[in-house]
Amino acid sequence: MNHKAKSDTAYGIMFIIASAFCFALMNLFIRLTGDVPTLQKCFFRNFFALLIAVSSLLRTKTKFQIGKGNLKYLVARSLAGGIGMVGNFYAVDHMAISDASMLNKLSPFCAIIFSYFLLNEKANLFEWGSVVIAFIGALFVAKPTFGMEMLPAAAGIMGGVGAGLAYTNVRALGKRGENSMIIVAFFSAFTTLMLLPPLIINYQHMTPQQWLFLLLTGTAAAGGQIFITKAYSKAPAKEISVYDFSIVIFAAVFGFMFLGQLPDGWSILGYIIIIGTAVVKWRYSMKQHS
């Protein structure tokens, strides 16, 4: 690995840990917002993030100009990310935030699957095995049943799948040289418009405190988006994605400190399986790469 590649990987690691911290804060603020409808929370999360992204573009005098051939990747990233976000928000609202965060972190394993088909990034038997084991670990966190109580965990898994597809398209855009702030702004604008109709139809009045937590949600989300976009633009997912699991540590600490939440034994076992698999896969990838 040459000096530039090492430097890019180091920046990718730094950015992805910063994004994990921001997204853990976002999940905390989502829960603290209270009984506001999930789609309404999603709308304002993206609306506030859009304001931050646009102001950043204006401040840096960056033109909102999409690279040739990149529109389809931006739309795919936004659709997948929007669906994943709704799933994650619903899970955060209805289960421990550390559990919801863990299910959302199936995204790096899903990215292996999507990268194979979309980016022609080949995966070997070891990497495919890690995907299978990670989803087995997810079963311990989700604790599947045949009733409606399974819905939050199913939504959390959907969030992880959507995020994995979204980050695969972010990686494709990074390889094509798209500006990271354009990616963030496009996603925020696209999902804001996508969620506008249900907001108008089902708007629920909010208290000043709920408005404050939604503003904080959007701010944390914008930070997380910016950092994750920069991370995957700097280095391949297989080199840095393991550090994204630091969100579970942040979420568990926030959940205990502010919500009095403690994960049960089955969830902890699931955490160990998924994170352990991610670490082993990462070490294997680094050894192969070197």
| More confident: 204 or 282 | 204
For residue 244, which of 16, 15, 65 has the smallest C-alpha distance? Answer: 16
All structural domains of the chain with their residue ranges:
3-289
Rounded distance between C-alpha atoms, residue 39 and residue 41, angstroms: 5
pLDDT tens sequence across 109-148: 898 889 888 888 888 888 899 999 999 999 999 888 777 7
- Written as one letter, the residue type at 271 is Y
Per-residue confidence (pLDDT) for residue 2, from 0 to 100: 65
Work out the mean pLDDT of the chain and round it to a whole number.
Answer: 89
Give this prediction's pTM: 0.86
Alpha-carbon torsion, ordered 37, 29, 248, 39, to 10 deg: 20
Closest CA to 12 of 247, 279, 234: 234
pLDDT at 243: 87
Q: Residue 126 is encoded by which pair of tokens?
A: 């070891």
pLDDT digits (tens, 9 = 90+) for 267-289: 999 999 999 998 898 888 777 76
